[in-house]
Amino acid sequence: MESFIAGLPKAELHVHHVGSAPAETVIELASRHPASKVPKEAGELADYFAFRDFSHFIEAYVSVVDLIRTADDVRLLTIGIARDLARQNVRYAELTVTPYSSVRRGIPAAEFMAAIEDARIAAEAELGVVLRWCFDIPGDAGLGAAEETTRLALDVGADGLVSLGLAGREAGVSRAQFKPYFDRARAAGLHSVPHAGETSGSESVWEALRVLGAERIGHGTTAVTDEALLRHLAEHRIPLEVCLTSNVATRVVADAEQHPIRQLVRAGVPITVNTDDPLMFGTDLNREYAVVARLLGLSEPQVADLAKTSVETSFMDPLAKRRLMTEIDVYLANWMTASRAPEEHHA
């Protein structure tokens, strides 16, 4: 199964720009900015990302964000991510980017956009990885951050931008207060993909759906506590972007066995498999697929179907979707043919 997953063409829909930096990229950035408390050795870095709780995770995340201080840092980060995605046979990824954080730290908005776009173009040309951007509002930074993020998205913009998101702490940060910003983004043609139901109850998922017009939900694990919500998600085919190892690492769930993914699938809710912040959680997309396959008892064709769900619910254009779906089908057919050949020869 692990070999099958490693070669499987995949898409990823919930992965944060800073949190998906390969360790070597973070170490190089920390060396560029030696005053940072982020470790400069691989072993120490792994220990640094052992989290007590969700708040501790946010603290560590912000310390890595602080390493991104120049447009060249942004390029280094982004192309490093693309190389890591290519290694995993990820063909398409929607990276959650927080331009507010970088612009507030002094990178001019135009330079930030140019840096991510330069890296995006290079990733596609040189690595065959298509990157698209979700500009997210850091919700716990308040409405000023929401206003600035929306301005950066709509007035400055980037060619690869497809959606507006909402991340950060959920406790005490109502989804509904961000309605004006999502209304503006949606009117401009951007999709709505807020986080909700990760560290707060199912009411935050309802707010994301009813008030923000969410087309997918980031995490949404607490939906499992609300039968009406599960029915709504299943009936309207609204996917949850499941990040299983992330939920364990941030203590949202006690362990993988306690994760509600089985209940979600039994309820008919579409799910996609994602890493969230793979650097910080010691994972990658191949590992996440393997964990989900084990928990759900999936066969290779079922894992391929799971990969196709990410393609179907992505914001790539219809032709690109068909091409990637066909690539997955061809890969599966070749795999199944090759796996039957030894049995036929033996018979």
Q: Which of 170, 198, 215, 241 is an active site residue?
A: 198
Residues 6+ apart with CB under 8 A from 111: 71
Nearest to 27 by CA among 40, 38, 9, 13: 40
Residues 6+ apart with CB under 8 A from 224: 230, 260, 263, 264, 267
Q: Any catalytic annotation for residue 12? A: no
* Residue whose tokens read 């840096």: 115
Residues 6+ apart with CB under 8 A from 189: none
Residues 6+ apart with CB under 8 A from 117: 158, 159, 160
DSSP character at residue 254 = S
CA distance linking residue 97 with residue 155, whole number of Å: 16
* Residue whose tokens read 């298509």: 130
CA distance linking residue 135 with residue 249, whole number of Å: 24
Q: Which residues of 145-166 are buried (b: 16+ CB within 10 A; e: fewer)?
A: bbebbbbbbbebbbebbbbbbb
CA distance linking residue 141 with residue 66, whole number of Å: 15
**Strand-by-strand arrangement of the 217-219 sheet:** 10-16, 90-97, 130-138, 161-167, 191-196, 217-219, 240-242, 271-273
- Ranges of H-type helices in the chain: 2-7, 23-32, 42-48, 54-65, 71-87, 99-104, 109-122, 143-151, 179-187, 202-210, 227-235, 244-249, 261-266, 278-281, 285-296, 300-312, 318-346
Q: Which residues are catalytic?
A: 198
